[in-house]
């Protein structure tokens, strides 16, 4: 399985940019070789279920209905059950994930369920530019805004086992991607709000971060550099503590024994 023989995805995304920054080799396995993950990390299952419950709640409101928070909780728990039935998690993990998904959805909607949401999973498709040369890069930036509010702000919903601490939102590749995309798609700068649902052993809480309009200058050069590295097919591994939880660990180990990239 050579690293330079497969076609790249036609478009890029905030997830691709962040995935490449985390580990170029794992990026290649997922988006270029399109390998099935050896396992799906439990945090991804939890995040997907929470998004499903919260998204359903706001879609119901936009349709003129009055959804109950407990209905959204059941939607999230059903998403976990579907993954468990597909063999992605054990029965023990299933019980814990169901409970956590319900707790997180309930907490979020109790804290932010009255947000003036105007759209759910709104698609965007915008060109990328090299900020130094002005050149249009080969791949367009595509994705979805989790939630948009009536004043145009973007809400990105995240789940985490610990808080983000004193993070600089302008240095977060995903948040800055959405800031750039929102401005390109709508013609004006808007705020990007990160709503981070933190679940520890002792508590569930909602942390909020804001990326002010237009604060993505650092991101533009970073995105251009990442895209150029991808176009050049530079996919080295990034060994470290994260390897133990990587969904492509075995494939990476096999490649290390059999190929020299």
In a domain, residue 147? The reply is: yes
Conformational region of residue 123, where left means phi above 0, alpha means psi within -120 to 50, and beta covers everything else: beta
Decide: residue 184, CB within 10 A, 0-12 exposed, 13-18 middle, 19+ buried.
Answer: middle
Would you place residue 40 in the very low, low, confident or very high pLDDT band (cuts 50, 70, 90)?
Answer: confident
The pLDDT assigned to 221 comes to 95
Domain span at residue 107 reads 11-250
Q: Tell me the percentage of the chain whose pLDDT exceeds 70.
A: 93
Distance between terminal CA atoms of the chain?
Answer: 10
pLDDT tops 50 at residue 260: no
In a domain, residue 242? The reply is: yes
In a domain, residue 4? The reply is: no
In a domain, residue 1? The reply is: no
More reliable by pLDDT, 41 or 232: 232
pLDDT tops 90 at residue 174: yes
**How many CA atoms does the CB half-sphere of 165 hold within 13 Å?**
2
Q: Tell me the percentage of the chain whose pLDDT exceeds 90.
A: 71
Q: What is the value of pTM for the model shown?
A: 0.89
pLDDT tops 60 at residue 258: no
In a domain, residue 255? The reply is: no
How do residues 90-119 score in pLDDT, each as one tens digit? Answer: 656 778 889 999 999 999 999 999 999 999
Sign of torsion, CA 248 229 215 147?
negative
CA–CA separation, 25 and 11 (whole Å): 18
In a domain, residue 217? The reply is: yes
The pLDDT assigned to 108 comes to 98
CATH code of the domain covering residue 129: 3.90.320.10
Mean pLDDT of 10-21: 96
* Tokens of residue 87, six digits: 């063999």
How do residues 218-239 score in pLDDT, each as one tens digit? Answer: 999 999 999 999 999 999 999 9
CA–CA separation, 115 and 174 (whole Å): 22
pLDDT tops 70 at residue 149: yes
Domain count, the chain: 1
More reliable by pLDDT, 186 or 91: 186
In a domain, residue 80? The reply is: yes
pLDDT tops 80 at residue 3: no
Angle at 53 between CA 49 and CA 59, to 5 degrees: 135
Number of helices (H), then strands (E), belonging to the chain: the values are 8, 6
Taking residue 109's Cβ as centre, other Cβ atoms within 10 Å add up to: 21
Mean pLDDT of 198-222: 92
Query: What angle do the packed helices 42-62 and 69-85 form, to 10 degrees?
Result: 140
* Tokens of residue 229, six digits: 């590295």
The pLDDT assigned to 80 comes to 86
Q: Which residues of 137-152 are buried (b: 16+ CB within 10 A; e: fewer)?
A: bebebbbebbbbbeee
In a domain, residue 235? The reply is: yes
């Amino acid at each position: 399985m050579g690293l330079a023989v497969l076609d790249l995805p036609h478009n890029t995304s905030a997830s691709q940019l962040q995935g490449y920054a985390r580990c170029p080799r794992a990026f290649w396995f997922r988006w270029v070789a399109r390998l099935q993950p050896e396992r799906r990390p439990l945090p991804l299952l939890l995040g997907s279920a929470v998004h499903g419950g919260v998204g359903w709640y706001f879609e119901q409101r936009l349709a003129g209905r009055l959804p109950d928070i407990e209905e959204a909780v059941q939607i999230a728990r059903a998403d976990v059950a579907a993954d468990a039935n597909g063999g992605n998690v054990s029965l023990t993990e299933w019980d814990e994930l169901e409970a956590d998904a319900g707790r997180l959805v309930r907490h979020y909607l109790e804290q932010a369920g009255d947000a003036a949401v105007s759209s759910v999973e709104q698609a965007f498709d915008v060109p990328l530019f090299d900020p130094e040369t002005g050149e249009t890069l080969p791949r367009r930036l595509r994705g979805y805004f989790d939630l948009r509010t009536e004043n145009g702000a973007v809400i990105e919903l995240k789940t985490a086992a610990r808080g983000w601490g004193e993070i600089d939102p302008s240095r977060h590749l995903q948040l800055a991607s959405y800031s750039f995309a929102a401005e390109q798609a709508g013609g004006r700068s808007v705020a990007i709000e990160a709503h981070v649902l933190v679940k520890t052993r002792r508590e569930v809480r909602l942390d909020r971060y804001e990326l002010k309009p237009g604060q993505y200058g650092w991101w533009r050069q970073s995105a251009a550099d990442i895209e150029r590295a991808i176009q050049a097919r530079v996919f080295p591994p990034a060994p470290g503590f994260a390897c133990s939880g990587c969904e492509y660990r075995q494939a990476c180990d096999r490649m290390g024994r059999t190929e020299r990239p």
